[in-house]
Structure 1
Amino acid sequence: MAVFESTEHIGHPADRVFQWHRRPGALTRLSPEWAQSVLEESYPPLAPGARARLRTSVPGTAGTVRVPFVAEHDDGPTPRSFVDRMVKGPLKSWTHTHVFDGEQSCVVRDRVEYEVLPGRLGGDRNALGKYAGRFTDRAVQSMLTKTFADRTAQLRADLDFHAALAERSDRRLNILIGGASGLVGSQVAALLSTGGHSVRRLVRGEPQRADEVRWDPARGQLEASAVAWADVVVHLGGASIATRFTPKNKQKILSSRVDSTDLIVRTCAALPSDERPEAFVCASAVGAYGADCGDRVLTEEEPYGEGFLAEVCREWEARAAAVENLGMRRVSVRTGLVLTSLGGLLRVQLPLYLAGMGGPVGGGRQWQSWISLDDLVRIYATVVVDGAVTGPVNAVAPHPVRQSQFAAELARTLHRPAVVPVPRVAPAVLLGQEGAKELALANQRVAPTVLEAAGFSFRHPDLRDALTWTLPPRGPADPESARA
């Protein structure tokens, strides 16, 4: 039986830290992007017998390969403690005891007892068996050291962020979120709920939890009472744009956004004025400025550009802005390239870079305006709480980079070369000429002017820091890692 122990001083009162862990979203916020992805948190949180479903990264794969991990909660040895036990996963056993000591300054004590599995489990070719040999004691200890360092940093940062946000407004809000099961939406819901706000999620299937509300944008179905309950409605839904821009796909991309937004606006309009939400926060994208903007700096004052995605954003934002006629505040969050190993463009690129085949795309001169996933969800939380922020908001880091610089920095973080240029024709093979121009080859130098004026503090303002945060530390290349 191997043991890993961690003791960290958090700098916030122990009861506050323990209660933070007992709220929905705590596991999602504490899971390092490179180490594990949360499929389903336990509900109610930390209830004895409740289970959480995750996928944990296989050592040596930079998060590109993940295997199932299911943990069951139990009461801990003290009133402020709890235990997680693995019931399915890549190890023989796993017991994690969390203890919260102290009073005004919390000390978090973590103890993990585990046993590794031998080789390939007798030739088992499923995901767990194939990668069991990667979870050696040395690999597990290394992952745990980095994981708990990142967990502590995230916990401190989130607690500090909640305290700073309370200075803008200390109200506890009711927040209804569409798209809460997505990559960004799940993190937004988690950050807001761990901050003490009441969050309900719009789901298209039958609700499975007390905090879920069914809706069907295609059929125009949304409970008016759920919208009346909310102080703020947040909408992040929409079909993926990472596809060929065929007429059918274009229609799906547009209608998935405007139809659902229209439904929310109509539902708000049907309510008595004193029952309407105070604000509507809706997603958008920097595609609003067009695909090829040269070197000029794009602020929120810039007019809409040309191209399919610009037209989608124009229409989407216009539908959302209709709530302003109802006396509601409206914010359209124009998101740049989201950097996270959990999904999106970065996750797609990782296997290529791990194999030493990464490099500049289409010459590499185009500007990429990016944002870390952590900063993006903080932006959403800020505009939800801060009633002074209105209209379009550029959700990008303050330092955009040329694509060639992005390629070089990603390769450096992964300890790989970036010497294989990708010709402009390559993205067109996958996305078509129009899709390649507006996605892979888009040239947008965007500035977060509104956020900076509002005093928003970026946690990851520089590309190197953002990539280091979302990717695990790696040593020199090894053949097996490159093949994984």
Structure 2
Amino acid sequence: MALFESAERVEYPAEQVYAWHRRPGALTRLSPEWAQTVIEESYPPLAPGTRARLRTSVPGTAGTVRVPFVSQHADGPVPRSFVDRMVKGPLASWTHTHTFADPTSGTGSEREAGESCIVHDRIEYEVLPQRLRGAGRFTDAFTAKAMESMLRKTFADRTARLKADLEFQESLGAVAHGRRLNILIGGASGLVGAQVAALLSTAGHEVRTLVRGDRRREDQVEWDPGRSRLDPGEVAWADVVIHLGGASIATRFTAANKRRILESRIDSTRLIADTCASLMPEDRPEAFVCASAIGAYGKDRGDQVLTEDAATGEGFLAEVCRGWESEAARVEDLGMRRVSVRTGIVLTSLGGVLKLQLPLYLVGAGGPLGNGRQWFSWISLDDIASIYAWAVMDASVRGPVNAVAPEPVRQKEFAKTLGRALRRPAVVPVPKAGPAVLLGSEGAEELALANQRVAPERLVTAGYPFRHPHLDEALAFTLPSR
């Protein structure tokens, strides 16, 4: 039986940190992108006997290969503690005890004890069943060293994200003057939506999610945009509605797919706006924060710096975004605040463009797309989730908002930085025909080969604190190599 322990000091009271871990979304927020994919959190959170379902990364694959891992929760041995035990996964056994204690070192003053805590993680595990251990001493030693290294990095990343979230959520509380909101979210099962819901829930806000089909949890609300079905009472419950839903655009732009992409966004956004209009003014939500994309600016704007005041462009995605934002803007006539989040390319090893490119880079065949001169306006997964939360809480944020990092790069620079992060060459250019095989010529031009130099002017003006303003920082956050 191997043992791993980590003890990290966090400058917040132990009771507050423990409560944070017991809220929906804590596991989603804590899981390093390169190490774990959260499929389903336990519900109610951490209740004894409930299970969390994940997929954990195979070492050396940069998250491109992930295997099932299911853990079951139990009460911990002391107050402010809990235990996770693996019931399905790649290891022989795994027992993780989490404890949140007042500090016993340092000055020992009452003020210190009340304002910080020690997050202690103790993991007892076996990589191989007992009958197979010792078959090769070299293999055993190598495995033990690899596991120790991976766990050390995993918990360093967990602690860094916990501290960053607590600090960010504290700043959000200041912006909103300490209000706790009721928030209704559409698209919460998606890559970005799951992080948005988790970030707001762990901050102490009451979050309900819109789901198609039958609800399975108390915090779920049924709806069906195709049949214009949404309970007005659920919308009236909300202080803010967030909507990130829509069919994936990572597909060939056939006539049928284009119709599905457009209608899935227009119909669902229209349903929310219509439902708000059906309510008495005093029952309407205060704000509607709706997704959009930098595709609004068109597929090729050259070197023009595109702030929110720039005109929209040409192409299918620009058409989709104009219709999408127009439907969302209808709530402004009802006296509601509206925000359309024009999202850039989200960089995460959990999905999207980066996940698709990683296999090529890992075998040394990565490189820039097209001629490499296109502007690449990106955003980290943590930042896009935080931008949505900021837009919810800061009443000064309204209208279109460019959700991109402040430093766009050209494709050549992106390829070079990604190769350096993975310690791989990045010199093999991908011709235009490559993306066209997957997306068709139109889809390739509007997605993989788009040229948009976008600036987050309104976020900067609002004082939004970027977590990952630089590309190398964002890649270091989502990839295992440091």
Q: TM-score range by the shorter chain?
A: over 0.9
What whole-Å deviation, never above 9, does each CA across 1:204-231 have from its counterpart, x for those lacking one? 0210000000101111111111101000
For residues 137 and 380 of structure 1, the distance between their equivalents in structure 2, rounded to whole angstroms, comes to 41
1:150 correspondence with 2:157? yes
SS of alignment partner, residue 46 of structure 2: coil
Q: Which residue of 1 aligns with 2:75?
A: 75
Correspondence for 2:122 among 99, 111, 121: 111
Q: Which residue of 1 aligns with 2:169?
A: 162
Whether the 8 Å contact between 1:281 and 1:330 is mirrored in structure 2 is yes
For residues 164 and 133 of structure 1, the distance between their equivalents in structure 2, rounded to whole angstroms, comes to 47
SS of alignment partner, residue 86 of structure 1: strand
Whether the 8 Å contact between 1:90 and 1:117 is mirrored in structure 2 is no
> 1:419: how far off?
1.4
- Please list, as runs of the form range in 1=range in 2, the aligned pairs for 1:224-239 lying within 5 A after superposition: 224-239=232-247
Q: Which residue of 1 aligns with 2:339?
A: 331
SS of alignment partner, residue 115 of structure 2: coil
> 1:142: how far off?
1.3
1:313 correspondence with 2:321? yes
Q: Which residue of 2 aligns with 1:137?
A: 144
> 1:423: how far off?
1.2
What whole-Å deviation, never above 9, does each CA across 1:45-82 have from its counterpart, x for those lacking one? 11111110000000111000000000111111111110
Question: Matched residues, percent identical?
Answer: 71
For residues 118 and 10 of structure 1, the distance between their equivalents in structure 2, rounded to whole angstroms, comes to 36
SS of alignment partner, residue 150 of structure 2: helix
For residues 336 and 44 of structure 2, the distance between their equivalents in structure 1, rounded to whole angstroms, comes to 33
Correspondence for 1:340 among 320, 345, 348: 348
- Please list, as runs of the form range in 1=range in 2, the aligned pairs for 1:130-279 lying within 5 A after superposition: 136-169=143-176, 170-279=178-287
- Please list, as runs of the form range in 1=range in 2, the aligned pairs for 1:381-396 lying within 5 A after superposition: 381-396=389-404
Describe the shift of the 1:134–1:284 C-alpha distance in structure 2 as closer, same or farther (beyond 3 A): farther
Long gaps (5+) in structure 1: 122-131, 475-484
Whether the 8 Å contact between 1:58 and 1:135 is mirrored in structure 2 is no
Q: Which residue of 1 aligns with 2:108?
A: none
Describe the shift of the 1:266–1:362 C-alpha distance in structure 2 as closer, same or farther (beyond 3 A): same
Q: Which moved more, 1:134-143 or 1:417-426?
A: 134-143
Whether the 8 Å contact between 1:365 and 1:402 is mirrored in structure 2 is yes
Correspondence for 1:368 among 369, 372, 376: 376
For residues 158 and 322 of structure 2, the distance between their equivalents in structure 1, rounded to whole angstroms, comes to 39
Q: Which residue of 1 aligns with 2:25?
A: 25
Q: Which amino acid aligns with 2:25?
A: G
Q: Which residue of 2 aligns with 1:355?
A: 363
* TM-score normalised by length of structure 2: 0.94
Instruction: Kindly report structure 1 stretches of 4+ aligned residues shifted beyond 3 Å.
Output: 132-135
> 1:243: how far off?
1.1
What whole-Å deviation, never above 9, does each CA across 1:375-431 have from its counterpart, x for those lacking one? 010000000011111000000000000001101111111111011111122222221
RMSD (CA atoms): 1.5
Q: Which amino acid aligns with 1:36?
A: Q
For residues 143 and 218 of structure 1, the distance between their equivalents in structure 2, rounded to whole angstroms, comes to 45
Whether the 8 Å contact between 1:340 and 1:372 is mirrored in structure 2 is yes
Long gaps (5+) in structure 2: 103-113, 133-138
1:289 correspondence with 2:327? no
SS of alignment partner, residue 136 of structure 1: helix
Q: Which residue of 2 aligns with 1:400?
A: 408
Q: Which residue of 1 aligns with 2:111?
A: none
Give the paired residue count. 463
Q: Which amino acid aligns with 1:50?
A: T
Q: Which amino acid aligns with 2:100?
A: F
For residues 310 and 473 of structure 1, the distance between their equivalents in structure 2, rounded to whole angstroms, comes to 36
Q: Which amino acid aligns with 2:257?
A: N
For residues 288 and 149 of structure 1, the distance between their equivalents in structure 2, rounded to whole angstroms, comes to 38
* TM-score normalised by length of structure 1: 0.94
> 1:471: how far off?
0.2
Q: Which residue of 1 aligns with 2:84?
A: 84
Q: Which residue of 2 aligns with 1:63?
A: 63
For residues 205 and 174 of structure 1, the distance between their equivalents in structure 2, rounded to whole angstroms, comes to 22
